[in-house]
Homo-oligomer: A and B are copies of this chain.
């Protein structure tokens, strides 16, 4: 299936994987073999984390029954496209350090690094991974047997190859292309805030 043109234009040279990766909604139902999934999770595995805690936990659906259960836990807006994906996952994070039981301030941050690794590895294999913050948080823990005392549910992830955009609802299909970003000058400040008067970031802090 043809992938929409990627019209992203970086302002500075960078490795192409960072602009090649995006979050489509047109997924093909073609299965992703288990060995390929192993490679995606292997990439997530090597992400850095505070005290090497590795706070991530992925619950994964690849079989029909599980896909239905996982799909039912997505928000309605995500169900319209994500339930066609051959793989759905929920990413949870352990809230406390294993070795001390004390709160881990960076558990969400570290899981973001693991997620990015997975998404980039998917891209290297011609696949896409699309993370979703919209899911039924109240039902999720019980349905998936995860303790909300131990874990925080972060996002759902659809994984697969590109599919047929014509199968998306028209309003979803209309926004099916890689999105843009603010320039680095909007979020990089040299020195103190306000000192670096030339940047938009300094302005946006006021």
Which residues of A does B touch, CB under 8 Å?
Answer: 8, 10-15, 18-19, 21-23, 35, 38-39, 41-48, 50, 52, 54, 56-63, 66, 69, 105-106, 108-117, 119-121, 124, 131, 133, 143-147, 150, 154-155, 179, 181-184, 186-195, 201, 205
List residues of chain B with CB within 8 A of the CB of A201.
57
Would you list 13 pairs from A and B whose C-beta atoms are within 8 A, ordered by A residue?
A11-B38, A12-B41, A18-B46, A42-B184, A54-B186, A58-B189, A59-B190, A105-B133, A106-B154, A108-B112, A112-B115, A113-B113, A113-B115
Residue in A15, A19, A62, A112 with the greatest tally of chain B CB atoms within 10 Å: A112
Q: State whether A182 and B46 are in contact (beta carbons under 8 Å apart), knowing that A111-B112, A116-B113, A145-B194 are contacts in the complex.
A: no
User: A-B pairs with the 9 shortest C-beta distances?
Assistant: A112-B112, A108-B108, A145-B193, A116-B116, A113-B116, A12-B42, A109-B112, A12-B38, A41-B184
